[in-house]
A and B are shown apart, each in its own frame.
Chain A
Amino acid sequence: MKQIFTIVIFTENKIGLVNRITSLFTQRHINIESITASESEYSGIHRFTIVIEETHDLTVKVVKQIEKQVEVLKAFCFTDQETVYSEIALYKIQLTPDTDKEALMEMVRKNDAFVKELVGDFIIIEKTGKKQETHALFEALSPFGIQGFVRSGRVSLSKTYSTFSKHLQDLEAHSKDTIIIS
């Protein structure tokens, strides 16, 4: 049975590695729902957060294939229950003389969103939350006329104790530095 998985990948900072990783999904016809790349808590190590909808069996196989790529330090996969996750959505709405501003502000408050910026005739509303929540606000704002909408990829942290730090120590211990040859 297919379900949502969040795949977290720690890598070296190397140009092109993202292609190498995403092509593993392409090869198996797995659609990437979202992808986010950022720094991690470790200096010089990048974190990819990739969301897919797939069976557990196939997800585990792909995670192993990701992990074997040179310059990938570790890859994990989590179900939604195992992580705390969030996305950011921005909504652009044009204010006209007909706009019921009070109703709009009420909608923003009710949805735990806020007005990010007022630019001329437009307001930009920001909402952080799960996809269903940002989608619900999209539906709610639709009658006001949405001029622009964007949702970020998922960011996520696991609810369990991170084993990556220990793993990194082990990796660094086993790989002695280079030696001079004569």
Chain B
Amino acid sequence: MEAITKEDKKVITGAEATILSLLAEGTDMVFGYPGGAIMPIYDALYGYQKELRHILTRHEQGAIHAAQGFARISGRPGVVFATSGPGATNLITGLADAKIDSTPLVCITGQVASTLLGTDAFQETDIISLSMQATKWNIQITKAEDIPQAIAKAFYIATSGRPGPVLIDITKDAQFASLNYEYKKCTGFRSYNPKPAIDIEKVKQAAELINKAKKPYVLFGQGVILANAEKELATFVEKTGIPAAWTLLGLSALPTDHPLNVGMLGMHGNYGPNKLTNECDVLIAVGMRFDDRVTGDLKRYAKQAKVIHLEIDPAEIDKNVKAEVAILGDAKASLKLLIEHCHANEHTEWLEEFEKLSAIEYDKVIASELNPTKPGLTMGEVIRRANEHTNGDAVVVTDVGQHQMVACRYAKFNNSKSNITSGGLGTMGFCLPAALGAKLAAPEKEVIAVIGDGGFQMTIQELGTIFQTRAAVKIIILNNEFLGMVRQWQQLFFDKRYSSTELVNPDFVAIAKGFGIEASSVSDRENLDQSIQQMFDHDGPYLLEVMVEKEDNVFPMVPSGASVEDIRLE
């Protein structure tokens, strides 16, 4: 690409300026789907195919979830193109997912010509209003000369502070019109303050609480990963000897086998981490937002503890759980300061309490899940077998439901940014395209898509994109012929009235093969290991359907509205 400087302005179209602006931000891959109102941009893209690889998905929802997978594994913003009207509205689920899970995305939608705005023109929809709630920021551009600045601002907003999705809607006439192109990277503007200065007094107050604590407890979330603060988190817990538990999105920020990693929080998290939330004396929340799936009943959540909250988003502080000390700022910078001010310590007896409860959970839940003696396959044993093959170095992408909870509970992780799942929004259909995006962003990594038979069919068309790109995603369908999590709730809380949860499924192997993807199915323990081996050995994408026990439940479980201390093991 030609370097563009202030002295070297050139007259180009808005469409070409869009492409050059993306390149100026370091974009090398874009996920999208063409259509009438974005055709000038696609035409400009034709001239930059070497610099900017376009992944043609089979649906705009697939494009945006793929961009999310790309962003989550790489830490770089995912870029999406879609046309106006249905193309744009098909992005909404992905935008909402990325907003709640703080994933940086820059979405560019085509729009009808500015003269037609508001006339109910063909494929016109007011995507600015529609996407308002689901974006961190959005803007409609009607003049070509505004394109570079809007894109610069979009990248800055998407990636700074608490990251999130942004959308730029560009009218077709603005794409066709000419401008004097120059690109200035955005480094800040007055009505947006993504980097709050850390108040050192708060750090000192927090350190004092931590230094005096007998039973301190760290809860970490995705804020650690988004701030690239994994090392600081490890150093902090190692220096202070504090046990640490993770939220669904914090998973993989601390290696699974780290001695202070005590496990998963929340509704289907581990026994000890939930129970002991109500026994710790100081609770240190790092880059997490006390989601209701983590806290259960707030009135009975950590009431005995003094809460320290390290958080970049001021609106999250005191939103659900009142903080004794709130440190507003980036997790990396905050942890660095906290490490300096905290004494080296050990909490052996306190850690033993986690171990005791972990042993109980192992006996009652984990042993039979990972090494079952009954004939039917469990989801847990499939994950255990996969762990044996990958040894914790794979990226595990999950959908939503029982298989997601099981995979997150049992998958082993050595490296950060290796767990990709739809946490806050719980979007079924997320996994397959997200795994595709992750694999394209990091082809050197083994990417496993663990999906239920329900969610798989929500974005099944992306098998076509996997075939076309030859992205070597390893797809494991944990097939229980049910919408398993809903069925579990129906069993436990709705008197076994299985309303619309049983699935009569098509032949997934035949479907995969129809898409040119190698596939097999396994339903017995004897052949499980070999099937998994075959999947990993295969050069290219592969789909493995595992028929699992139909009516297994995921435990432990904090029933909806119950306290974390009321976690059930059966």
Which A residues contact B (CB, under 8 angstroms)?
11-12, 15-16, 19-20, 23, 27, 60-61, 64-65, 67-68, 70-73, 168, 171-172, 174-182
Cβ of A23 and Cβ of B133 under 8 Å apart? yes
Give per-residue flags for B180-199: 1 if the beta carbon is below 8 A from chain A beta carbons, else 0.
00111111111111000000
What are 11 A-B pairs at a CB distance below 8 A? A64-B319, A68-B313, A72-B191, A73-B191, A171-B190, A175-B193, A178-B152, A179-B185, A180-B5, A180-B183, A181-B185
Cβ of B187 and Cβ of A176 under 8 Å apart? yes
Cβ of A67 and Cβ of B314 under 8 Å apart? yes
Cβ of A61 and Cβ of B315 under 8 Å apart? yes
- Contact partner of B315 (CB less than 8 A), chosen from A65, A70, A179, A182, is A65
A62's closest neighbor in chain B, by CB? B315
Minimum CB–CB distance from A9 to chain B (whole Å) comes to: 11
Cβ of B136 and Cβ of A70 under 8 Å apart? yes
Give per-residue flags for B308-347: 1 if the beta carbon is below 8 A from chain A beta carbons, else 0.
0000011101110000000000000000000000000000
B360 at interface by CB-CB < 8 Å:
no
- Contact partner of A68 (CB less than 8 A), chosen from B133, B184, B315, is B315
Cβ of A172 and Cβ of B132 under 8 Å apart? no
Q: Assuming A70-B157, A171-B193, is B5 touching A179 (CB within 8 A)?
A: no
Cβ of A19 and Cβ of B184 under 8 Å apart? no
Minimum CB–CB distance from B556 to chain A (whole Å) comes to: 31
Cβ of A175 and Cβ of B128 under 8 Å apart? no
Chain A residues with CB under 8 A of B528: none
B3 at interface by CB-CB < 8 Å:
yes
Chain B residues with CB under 8 A of A181: 24, 183-185
Complex CA gap A19/B187 in Å reads: 26
Complex CA gap A73/B318 in Å reads: 21
Cβ of B188 and Cβ of A176 under 8 Å apart? yes
Cβ of A175 and Cβ of B189 under 8 Å apart? yes
Complex CA gap A180/B185 in Å reads: 6
Complex CA gap A181/B24 in Å reads: 8
Complex CA gap A180/B132 in Å reads: 30
Complex CA gap A179/B315 in Å reads: 30
Chain A residues with CB under 8 A of B191: 11-12, 70-73, 171
Cβ of B190 and Cβ of A168 under 8 Å apart? yes
Minimum CB–CB distance from A41 to chain B (whole Å) comes to: 16
Chain A residues with CB under 8 A of B152: 178
Q: Assuming A64-B314, A68-B313, A70-B157, is B133 touching A180 (CB within 8 A)?
A: no
Minimum CB–CB distance from A177 to chain B (whole Å) comes to: 8
Output the residue of B6, B189, B313, B319 with the most chain A CB within 10 A. Answer: B189
Chain A residues with CB under 8 A of B137: 70-71
Minimum CB–CB distance from B335 to chain A (whole Å) comes to: 22
B164's closest neighbor in chain A, by CB? A70
B129 at interface by CB-CB < 8 Å:
yes
Minimum CB–CB distance from B533 to chain A (whole Å) comes to: 49
B4 at interface by CB-CB < 8 Å:
yes
Minimum CB–CB distance from B340 to chain A (whole Å) comes to: 24
Complex CA gap A16/B135 in Å reads: 13
A65's closest neighbor in chain B, by CB? B315
Chain A residues with CB under 8 A of B183: 180-181
Cβ of B190 and Cβ of A19 under 8 Å apart? no
Cβ of B193 and Cβ of A174 under 8 Å apart? yes
Minimum CB–CB distance from B428 to chain A (whole Å) comes to: 23
- Contact partner of A178 (CB less than 8 A), chosen from B24, B185, B192, is B185
> 13 new A-B pairs (CB below 8 Å) besides A12-B191, A70-B137?
A16-B129, A20-B132, A64-B317, A64-B319, A67-B314, A71-B192, A175-B189, A175-B190, A176-B188, A178-B149, A179-B184, A179-B185, A182-B3
